[in-house]
Amino acid sequence: MDIMNDNNVEYYPWGGEFTVCSPTSCVAVVLLNIDYTPSCDKVAIYGHLKTENIGVEKIVANVISNPYIRFLIICGDEIRGHKSGGSLVALNKNGIDKNNRIRDAPGAIPYIENLNREAIERFRSQIETIDLIGIKNVDKINKTIDECIEKKPSSFGKPYIAVRITPEAVASFKDKRALHSKIIIDYMGKVKKRKG
Amino acid sequence: MVDKEIPLIKAKKTPEKDVTLDPNGFFVIEINRERKQIHVEYYSNVYKDNRIVSGKLEKVFSGDKADALCDTITKHVPRLLPEHYMYIGRELQKAQYALEQNKKYIQGSC
Amino acid sequence: MFSFTKEQKTLEISGVKIGGQPGMYPTVLFGGLFFKGEPDFENAKKHIQNMLSLSKKTGNPGIPDFFIRREEHLESIIDFIEENLPTGYPFSIDIIEPSLKIIALETLHKRKLLHRTIYNSIHIGVTDEEREALQKHTPEMAILVAFNPKDKSSDGKIEVLSNGANLLDKGLIDISKEVGVKKTLVDTAALAPGENSGASIAAIPVVKEEYGLPTGCAIHNVVEKSTWLNEFKTARKTVDVSSNINIPLYGGDFAIYGPIENTDLVFPVIAWQDILVSEYTENYFGVSPVDYHPRRKFF
């Protein structure tokens, strides 16, 4: 889930079902209802979007972790009911209101509950969304990707990590068995079979 | 002469409209093919105007076997509705098969 | 740093003692040869001389572990053993292919070498033909590898030794009794990183308390498979050699340390560890080391 570049920075800290490609490409592709695979040497990351709340949040958290990404192309037929594509574009344009709802989003429940305002502002400054919602024509999408690459934008700066999933290090002090259930070792090292 | 009569109950799926969402949260199950793992995200419910609109990410579980994930999730997320535990069980088994057979996994509805 | 309540067996093969309470006998070291390609007998001779000389210096018995990959190497390797090891000196043979194991046993029997042979190993994959062959051509000593593919924890290892863990009709210990092998060593099966490799060390005191048999493992295998060490090329050998200290530290009796080329480093490292352990066991448990123990030689 997290990718290290040579500076040992983690990209894409939140989950989601996506494919990671070139770490320094400036384009990310969001696929709505469409069966298309972008060319891996041209894009940084691509994946499908389903929901207008958590789905959108994951995309935001993941793209702002890679400062090279400057364009987010959204393509394919809109998801019925959720209208996630439109909600993602709206987030980029308008931000959220005081109830954490994406302003003017067409989706049913477009609430952003896991990212703070700073992360959203970072998303709005770093990323330009390219609205190809409703477009399934592969040539058009590929052309758009190339146009973005042509612009040769600079990196936005440092990675922004909004969510980090860290492995749990747990020490359970309730279990007083040293080494193994079959033996008892006293504090000086004498080993005996454990009864029971 | 019959000693005992035991009822035979026919299985019936609760229709979606009648399903009660768990007040203690919901789960998103995904497959990470690079790491060959199943990731399970546990969210607590976020309510606006008395309805569930999203969730706050609380914990993430990872594993490649349904039984290990089930046992761990039960330990870490107590007090879920019984139907919810059942749902997670069958979805995780589906996810495990999808991972093993390299097939697509789409999380089912309750 | 342990002492066991269960009585510990000390086994002997051709004068080499192995087992007992920690601190009594120096750790026995198995150095491997002929892992890859054609056997290089010239170099092998030098390495074995080197191992024997280091063994005299530190007191740790060194046993050559001959890896036999192909049938065509068998005769020449056995010739080599007869000609280059000191008279009567023990050795172990390490073969994977079951049919080759049988041929090797037959040949060793014919050449009257079984009384010096340590059979590496009897494990979960033992075939009926192999068991028959062991009964007919019984080696003096055998290593039982407690590998349990279903449960890589210490519990799984005990299962495969005691009752076969539903993979064999009997436990490995009973199988060795059935085929008539009187002296057995237990290898706690260290395989690869990520495969509960810590359990191979933690299982050592469990096995010794449970069965009283000399126990050890090939922790080198875990280092060998740790591909992340490729990023630390200069440290790899150090990690490999020093990984073996885990064995005497946890009460083990022998270490299968991998390539015999590492002998110059392994022997002093393990001698040092044996001294550390012996100082403690003598001080606290009153277990004093034998006269050829490194602690008697260096201080």
Q: What is the pLDDT of residues C106-145, one digit of tens each?
A: 999 999 999 999 999 999 999 999 999 999 999 999 999 9
- All structural domains of chain C, each given as residue ranges with its CATH number in brackets, are 10-297 (3.20.20.20)
A134 falls within a domain: yes
Chain-chain contact of A191 with C154 (C-beta, under 8 angstroms): no
3-state secondary structure at position B80: coil
- Both structure tokens of C214: 């000399």
Give A185's contacts in chain C (Cβ within 8 Å).
2, 205
Residue C78: partners with Cβ closer than 8 Å, 6 or more residues away:
C107, C108, C111, C113
A130 falls within a domain: yes
**Which segment of A61-65, A183-187, C227-231 scores lowest on mean pLDDT?**
A183-187
Q: What is the mean pLDDT of residues A141-156?
A: 94
- Both structure tokens of C196: 């509960």
- Average pLDDT in chain C: 94
Give C4's contacts in chain A (Cβ within 8 Å).
191
Q: Report the distance separating Cα A182 and Cα A196, nearest Å.
A: 9
A163 falls within a domain: no
Q: Which domain holds residue A102?
A: 3-150
By the CB < 8 Å criterion, does A189 face chain C? yes
Chain-chain contact of B48 with A99 (C-beta, under 8 angstroms): yes
Chain-chain contact of B39 with A101 (C-beta, under 8 angstroms): no
**Which segment of A133-142, A145-154, B8-17, B21-30 scores lowest on mean pLDDT?**
B8-17
Chain A: touching chains (3 or more CB pairs < 8 Å): B, C
Give C6's contacts in chain A (Cβ within 8 Å).
193
Closest partner residue to A188 among C6, C158, C284, by Cβ? C284
Q: What is the mean pLDDT of residues A150-162?
A: 93
% of chain A beyond a pLDDT of 70: 90
Query: Do C and B share at least 3 CB pairs under 8 Å?
Result: no
By the CB < 8 Å criterion, does C286 face chain A? no
Q: What is the pLDDT of residues A5-18, one digit of tens each?
A: 444 457 888 878 89
Q: Report the distance separating Cα A33 and Cα A145, nearest Å.
A: 18
From A186, which residue of chain C is nearest by alpha-carbon distance? C2
Q: Report the distance separating Cα C79 and Cα C74, nearest Å.
A: 9
Residue C297: partners with Cβ closer than 8 Å, 6 or more residues away:
C57, C58, C59
By the CB < 8 Å criterion, does C251 face chain A? yes
B92 falls within a domain: yes
Give A113's contacts in chain B (Cβ within 8 Å).
46, 53-56
B76 falls within a domain: yes
Chain-chain contact of C158 with A182 (C-beta, under 8 angstroms): yes
B109 falls within a domain: no
Chain-chain contact of A185 with C2 (C-beta, under 8 angstroms): yes
Instruction: Tell me whether strands C141-145 and C117-122 are parallel, antiparallel or unpaired.
Output: parallel
Q: What is the pLDDT of residues C229-242, one digit of tens each?
A: 999 999 999 999 99
How far A184 CA lies from chain C's nearest CA (Å)? 10
pLDDT of residue A189: 83
Q: How far is CA A123 from CA A5, A45, A117, B88, C101, in A?
A: 21, 16, 10, 33, 65
Chain-chain contact of C1 with A190 (C-beta, under 8 angstroms): no
Q: What is the mean pLDDT of residues A112-118?
A: 95
From B26, which residue of chain A is nearest by alpha-carbon distance? A54
B48 falls within a domain: yes
pLDDT of residue C284: 86
A183 falls within a domain: no
Number of A to C CB contacts under 8 A, please give it: 46
By the CB < 8 Å criterion, does C284 face chain A? yes
Q: Which domain holds residue B26?
A: 20-100
By the CB < 8 Å criterion, does B31 face chain A? yes
Q: Looking at beta carbons, which pairs linking C47-50 to residues 24 or more positions away fall under 8 Å?
A: C47/C260, C47/C261, C47/C263, C48/C84, C48/C85, C48/C260, C50/C263, C50/C264
The ipTM estimated for the assembled molecules is 0.86
By the CB < 8 Å criterion, does B74 face chain A? no
Q: What is the mean pLDDT of residues C2-13?
A: 94
3-state secondary structure at position A33: strand
Evaluate if pTM is beyond 0.90: no
Give A1's contacts in chain B (Cβ within 8 Å).
32, 34-35, 39
pLDDT of residue A9: 57
A87 falls within a domain: yes
Alpha helices in C30-127 (DSSP H): 41-58, 71-84, 98-110
| Band (C61; pLDDT cuts 50, 70, 90) | very high
| Band (A176; pLDDT cuts 50, 70, 90) | low
- Average pLDDT in chain A: 89
Q: What's at B80, amino acid-wise?
A: L
Give A101's contacts in chain B (Cβ within 8 Å).
48
Q: What is the mean pLDDT of residues C64-79?
A: 94
pLDDT of residue B33: 85
Q: At what angle do helices C172-179 and C154-162 cross, to 10 degrees?
A: 30
Residue A2 confidence (pLDDT) above 60: no
Residue A47 · residue A30 · CB < 8 Å: yes
A49 falls within a domain: yes
Tally of domains within chain A? 1
How far B62 CA lies from chain A's nearest CA (Å)? 10
Residue B61 · residue B73 · CB < 8 Å: yes
pLDDT of residue A174: 64
How far A19 CA lies from chain B's nearest CA (Å)? 9
Q: Report the distance separating Cα A163 and Cα A159, nearest Å.
A: 12
pLDDT greater at residue A5 or residue C258: C258
